[in-house]
């Protein structure tokens, strides 16, 4: 893209956003900042869910439509663990481990046998998500579950201008940043991460250079699924867990990775911020049309940059 | 996404692709010369008449006689519902089986048509519904559904392969949440009740038998339309685009235009199904266009098999029977578990659906015949029409 065109697009989308921002701040400073912060914390949650999704997609070319189910199952198992062990941190660990184990089982037990048949894998994940949702409904019923995090997390923190803001949301934001950095470090600096990146670029070549590709696939799937389970507990604490959350977070991950670019973790972060902030602003300024905002972003990205903002043309 | 990726995504190895639609693709574009064109068309019609076999007549007679020999419950809840669901799934079969685009938004298109019927026509919510005459409403609903499908297609053909499934799923879910959250137009969570078919020509089309025949008429029309279309130049070009978009564009066809047109055609079929569905249910709510129904349409299409337009109707019959009877054996609440397991089994073991099993049976039978006689029996009608995009790489 040439310099002039890039500036043209930047101004075309930047100016209205800038104008709306100035209007929002001038109109109601507090509402604007609270909405922005809410949007960022929602983005943090979306990033946690979508990063696993995009990681798995990038390497395995598997659109794991059971990702939302892993989120929900992780949340439920985390809740049970928290109930019996009495520790929220153990609940988080349990959610992560259970979802990672499920992911590992899926990869080894199902997807390994359909390698290269993306469409069939995707349909298998749809079938599994139906089954998982129904089993979860069977076991845990239709009630809404709440987590019991430590006292110091659930209070409120005083911030300038905004006033009192739930501490937990700030913790969530911090967690997402830490996880994002850890993921970056893992992918960029470790040996396994290097293998995963090589696999994203060229699977056949990675296999030819003597690396057990199935092992790399299994590790990636476990991490991606574990992140979904982790997000399940963490997000379930911020909001709540109930049937139907699986499709909600599946939609969020889909939109986030379509906007950000499939297979790119940085793209997932960018997409999550765009979608999360847009959704919260939509909710605050134009309720009942909140979902339309994230959809419009998706449509615009697809219309002008089909591979996603940070996606590469494969 | 390169052509190589696309091919990989659709399980085409070079040998596996192998122009197995050879006979269907064989006739070139002969419509340009009118005289020759009309001659071949009339010959084509003759041929298609000759193709009607005993089994076609038997099935037609069976579906015509069916409502006279079963109780009204079977006519309406089983027969009517299966035909309507089959019609919507037929649009997906056309799109996925012949266009190579697995769209999950077909139920959304049907739902948009249904919502238009409820909003413009009469319903139990007179504050929103406008109460226009039924013929105008139906025309507008089908036009609106087709337009929506075209827009969805225009958005999703920008990316290929498995991306399509993600984008159409996201579009469909977004419509579901919009319908659920918006009260001004979609009446939110409650949706619209009492959306009934009109009384035309002195017949109450809500009665089981008239509704069954109405659904049967449109199901047959849709079936024949798709059957015709896949042999028409457009359908053949579409299958060419499915098999190798790059080669088709080198031949001067526009893959994007063909794909968007396929979405429009499928949207047209789905919209008719949507109008019938809202009349069948008598209501439309966000739940009717929710994820589970979007996926149910996919299940119906995959269950039957995507290689022949009759597949979705077979799938719909099995689906509706499961919905009504299989759950009695287990637990009324666990229908989703049953249907999920059935879907998983089909995806894992018979990617061509029930038609695939039928094919295997025929192959086995013909092999037995070939063993007894010396020359093997050939001429499997279904094999010639399309490459199943859901066929495993190992099988040919």
- B332 and chain A: CB distance < 8 Å anywhere? no
Q: How confident is the model at residue B8 (pLDDT cuts 50, 70, 90)?
A: very low
- B194 and chain A: CB distance < 8 Å anywhere? no
Q: Choose, out of B104, B164, B169, B291, the residue to mutate when testing the contact with A (most A CBs < 10 Å).
A: B291
| Calpha distance B396→B393 (Å, rounded) | 8
- A243 and chain B: CB distance < 8 Å anywhere? no
pTM of the model: 0.78
Residues 41-80 of B with CB under 8 A from A: none
Q: How confident is the model at residue B374 (pLDDT cuts 50, 70, 90)?
A: low
pLDDT of residue B44: 55
> Which range has the worst mean pLDDT, A171-180, B210-219, B359-368?
B359-368
- B333 and chain A: CB distance < 8 Å anywhere? yes
Average pLDDT over residues B137-142: 88
**Is the CB of A292 less than 8 angstroms away from the CB of B178?**
yes
pLDDT of residue B2: 46
**Is the CB of A295 less than 8 angstroms away from the CB of B174?**
yes
Task: Please name the member of A116, A128, A291 whose beta carbon is closest to the beta carbon of B174.
Answer: A291
Average pLDDT over residues B180-187: 78
Name residue, tokens 């419009």: A296
Collapse the DSSP code of A60 into the 3-class scheme (helix H, G, I; strand E, B; otherwise coil) and give the result.
helix
pLDDT of residue B250: 85
Decide if B53 is inside a domain: no
| Number of domains, chain B | 1
Name, of A4-18, A214-228, B123-137, B184-198, the range with top average pLDDT.
A214-228
pLDDT at B384 over 70: no
Cβ-based contacts of B92 with chain A (< 8 Å): none
User: Interface pTM (ipTM) of the complex?
Assistant: 0.77
Query: Which CATH number is B180's domain given?
Result: 1.10.3470
Decide if B340 is inside a domain: yes
- A305 and chain B: CB distance < 8 Å anywhere? no
Residue of chain B whose Cα is closest to the Cα of A304: B158
Contacts of A133 (CB under 8 A, 6+ apart): A69, A72, A243, A246, B336
pLDDT at A219 over 50: yes
- A286 and chain B: CB distance < 8 Å anywhere? no
> Which range has the worst mean pLDDT, A8-12, B7-11, B211-215, B251-255?
B7-11
Task: Please name the member of A65, A110, A131 whose beta carbon is closest to the beta carbon of B340.
Answer: A131
Helices (H) and strands (E) counted in chain A, each on its own, are 13, 2
Task: Please name the member of B9, B155, B344 whose beta carbon is closest to the beta carbon of A118.
Answer: B9
3-class SS letters over B50-65: HCCCHHHHHHHHHHHH
pLDDT of residue B382: 42
The tens digit of pLDDT for each residue in A276-311 reads 888 888 877 777 676 777 778 887 887 777 777 777
The tens digit of pLDDT for each residue in B81-116 reads 888 999 999 998 898 888 888 888 889 999 999 888
pLDDT at B379 over 60: no
Mean pLDDT of chain B: 75
State the Rg of chain B over Cα.
21
pLDDT of residue B109: 92
Instruction: Give me the percent of chain A exceeding a pLDDT of 70.
Output: 96
Q: How confident is the model at residue B331 (pLDDT cuts 50, 70, 90)?
A: low
Decide if B382 is inside a domain: no
Choose between B194 and B223: higher pLDDT: B223
Average pLDDT over residues B27-46: 45
The alpha-carbon gap from B143 to the nearest alpha carbon of chain A, in Å, equals 22
Name residue, tokens 């929220």: A88
**Is the CB of A302 less than 8 angstroms away from the CB of B291?**
no
Decide if B4 is inside a domain: no
Residue of chain A whose Cα is closest to the Cα of B179: A288
Chain A, chain B: beta-carbon pairs less than 8 Å apart:
133
The alpha-carbon gap from A264 to the nearest alpha carbon of chain B, in Å, equals 15
pLDDT of residue B332: 65
pLDDT at B24 over 80: no
Cβ-based contacts of B184 with chain A (< 8 Å): 288
Cβ-based contacts of B159 with chain A (< 8 Å): 302, 306-307
Residue of chain B whose Cα is closest to the Cα of A53: B166
pLDDT of residue A96: 92
3-class SS letters over A207-240: HHCCCCHHHHHHHHHHHHHHHHHHHHHHHHHHCC
CA distances from A38 to A172, A244, A275, A278, B162 (A): 11, 22, 12, 11, 33
| Calpha distance A121→A131 (Å, rounded) | 15
**Is the CB of A122 less than 8 angstroms away from the CB of B162?**
yes
| Calpha distance B320→B291 (Å, rounded) | 18
Residue of chain B whose Cα is closest to the Cα of A305: B158
pLDDT of residue A25: 75
Contacts of B116 (CB under 8 A, 6+ apart): B137, B140, B141, B144, B145
**Is the CB of B343 less than 8 angstroms away from the CB of A126?**
yes
The tens digit of pLDDT for each residue in A28-70 reads 777 788 888 888 888 998 998 888 888 888 777 777 888 889 9
Average pLDDT over residues B351-373: 79
Decide if B93 is inside a domain: yes
The alpha-carbon gap from B167 to the nearest alpha carbon of chain A, in Å, equals 8
Domain range spanning residue B130?
70-348
**Is the CB of A130 less than 8 angstroms away from the CB of B174?**
no
**Is the CB of B182 less than 8 angstroms away from the CB of A289?**
yes
- Rounded to 10°, the helix A167-189/A191-201 angle is 80
3-class SS letters over B152-164: HHHHHCCCCCHHH
Residues 18-37 of B with CB under 8 A from A: none
Cβ-based contacts of B165 with chain A (< 8 Å): 63, 65, 119, 122
Instruction: Give me the percent of chain B exceeding a pLDDT of 90.
Output: 8
Decide if B259 is inside a domain: yes
Joined together, the tokens standing for residue A33 give 């900042």
Residue of chain B whose Cα is closest to the Cα of A135: B337
Residues 84-123 of A with CB under 8 A from B: 110, 114, 116-120, 122-123
Q: Give the Cα-Cα-Cα angle A248, A40, A175 (nearest 5 degrees).
A: 90
Task: Please name the member of A63, A124, A130 whose beta carbon is closest to the beta carbon of B165.
Answer: A63
Cβ-based contacts of B152 with chain A (< 8 Å): none
């Amino acid at each position: 893209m040439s310099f002039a065109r890039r500036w043209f697009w930047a101004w075309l989308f930047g100016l209205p956003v800038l104008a709306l921002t100035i209007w929002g701040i001038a109109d109601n400073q507090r509402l604007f900042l609270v909405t922005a912060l809410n949007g960022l914390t929602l983005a943090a949650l979306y990033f946690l869910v979508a990063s696993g999704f995009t990681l798995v997609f990038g390497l395995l070319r598997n659109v794991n439509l059971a990702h939302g189910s892993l989120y929900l199952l992780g949340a439920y198992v985390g809740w049970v663990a928290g109930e019996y062990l009495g520790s929220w941190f153990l609940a988080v660990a349990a959610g992560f481990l259970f979802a990672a184990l499920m992911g590992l089982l899926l990869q080894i037990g199902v997807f390994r046998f359909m390698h290269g048949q993306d469409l069939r894998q995707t349909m298998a994940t749809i079938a599994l998500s139906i089954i998982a949702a129904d089993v979860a409904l069977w076991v845990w019923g239709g009630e809404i579950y709440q987590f019991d995090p430590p006292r110091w997390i659930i209070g409120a923190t005083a911030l300038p201008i905004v006033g009192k803001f739930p501490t937990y949301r700030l913790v969530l934001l911090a967690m997402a940043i830490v996880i994002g950095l850890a993921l970056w470090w893992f992918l960029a600096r470790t040996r396994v991460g290097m293998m995963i990146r090589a696999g994203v670029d060229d699977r056949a070549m990675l296999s030819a250079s003597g690396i057990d590709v199935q092992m790399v696939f299994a590790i990636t799937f476990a991490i991606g699924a574990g992140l979904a389970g982790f997000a399940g507990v963490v997000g379930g604490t911020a909001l709540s867990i109930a049937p139907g959350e699986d499709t909600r977070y599946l939609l969020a991950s889909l939109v986030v990775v379509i906007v950000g670019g499939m297979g790119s973790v940085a793209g997932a972060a960018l997409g999550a911020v765009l979608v999360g902030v847009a959704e919260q602003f939509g909710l605050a300024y134009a309720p009942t049309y909140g979902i339309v905002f994230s959809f419009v972003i998706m449509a615009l990205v697809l219309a002008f940059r089909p591979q996603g903002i940070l996606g590469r043309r494969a | 996404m390169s052509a190589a990726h696309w091919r990989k995504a659709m399980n085409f190895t070079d040998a596996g692709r192998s122009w197995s639609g050879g006979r269907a693709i064989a006739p070139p574009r002969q419509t340009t010369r009118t005289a020759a064109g009309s001659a071949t068309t009339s010959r084509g019609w003759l041929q298609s008449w000759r193709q009607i076999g005993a089994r076609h007549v038997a099935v037609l007679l069976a579906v015509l006689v069916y409502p006279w020999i079963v109780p009204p419950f079977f006519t309406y809840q089983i027969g009517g519902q299966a035909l309507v669901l089959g019609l919507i799934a037929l649009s997906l079969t056309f799109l996925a089986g012949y266009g190579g685009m697995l769209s999950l938004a077909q139920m959304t298109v049907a739902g948009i048509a249904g919502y238009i019927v409820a909003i413009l026509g009469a319903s139990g919510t007179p504050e929103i519904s406008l109460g226009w005459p039924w013929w105008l409403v139906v025309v507008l609903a089908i036009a609106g559904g087709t337009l929506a499908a075209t827009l969805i297609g225009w958005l999703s053909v920008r990316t290929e392969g498995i991306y399509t499934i993600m984008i159409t799923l996201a579009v469909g879910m977004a419509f579901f949440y919009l319908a659920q959250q918006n009260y001004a137009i979609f009446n939110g969570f409650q949706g619209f009740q009492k959306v009934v078919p009109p009384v035309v020509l002195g017949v109450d089309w809500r009665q089981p038998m008239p509704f069954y025949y109405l659904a049967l008429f449109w199901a047959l029309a849709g079936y024949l339309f798709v059957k015709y279309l896949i042999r028409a130049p457009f359908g053949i070009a579409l299958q060419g685009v499915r098999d190798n978009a790059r080669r088709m564009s080198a031949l001067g066809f526009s893959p994007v235009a063909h794909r968007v047109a396929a979405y429009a055609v499928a949207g047209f079929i789905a919209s008719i199904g949507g109008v019938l569905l809202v009349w069948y249910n008598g209501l439309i709510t966000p739940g009717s266009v929710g994820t589970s129904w979007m996926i149910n349409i996919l299940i119906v299409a995959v269950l039957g098999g995507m290689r022949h337009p009759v597949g979705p109707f077979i799938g719909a019959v099995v689906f509706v029977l499961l919905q009504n009877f299989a759950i009695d054996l287990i637990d009324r609440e666990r229908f989703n578990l049953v249907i999920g397991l059935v879907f998983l089994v089909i995806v894992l073991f018979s990617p061509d659906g029930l038609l695939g099993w039928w094919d295997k049976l025929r192959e086995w039978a013909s092999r037995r015949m070939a063993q007894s006689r010396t020359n093997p029996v050939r001429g499997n009608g279904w094999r010639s029409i399309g490459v199943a995009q859901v066929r495993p790489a190992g099988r040919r």
